[in-house]
Amino acid sequence: MFETPFTVVGNVITDVVARRAGESNLATFRMASNSRKKTDDGWEPGNSLYVTVNCWGRVADGVAGRLFKGDPVVVVGYIFTNEYLDKEGNRRSSMEVRATSVGPDMARCQVKIDPRRPSPIEPERPQPEPEVASESPETANSDPLVLSA
């Protein structure tokens, strides 16, 4: 399958929807990227690109609950056209990105990075180390497979 690498800078325009899909987490949102041109009279609006961003696994875990409508973002991933039939049976298509990385656009916002990450799976409790008996001089050279009574 041919994959088209894609990077887009824009704003989140919908709430992030997070859910479980099979055995992985999925977070989706829509974003818009708008171009503008500076003129003598100010800024002139240009073209807009609207895409649905699909985040899977660790990217979904990082996005869910941390991105909100209006946030400036940079999305890196692979772009594709999703073709489907609507409720009336009409063929439709939408531009989508399977994100490999999503982050804030730090040219347009301030960010405080919190390296603590909640684990999606409860960490295992540490098991106590087995007690090791100290060796006495008479057992130090004995066969380790022979148990004494």
How do residues 105-147 score in pLDDT, each as one tens digit?
999 999 887 776 654 534 445 555 555 555 555 544 444 444 4
Instruction: Evaluate if residue 7 carries a pLDDT over 60.
Output: yes
Better-scored residue on pLDDT, 133 or 37? 37
Against a cut of 0.85, is the pTM above it? no
Across the range 96-108, mean pLDDT stands at: 96
Instruction: Evaluate if residue 57 carries a pLDDT over 70.
Output: yes
Instruction: Evaluate if residue 46 carries a pLDDT over 50.
Output: yes
Cβ atoms within 10 A of the Cβ of 27, count? Answer: 25
SS3 149: coil
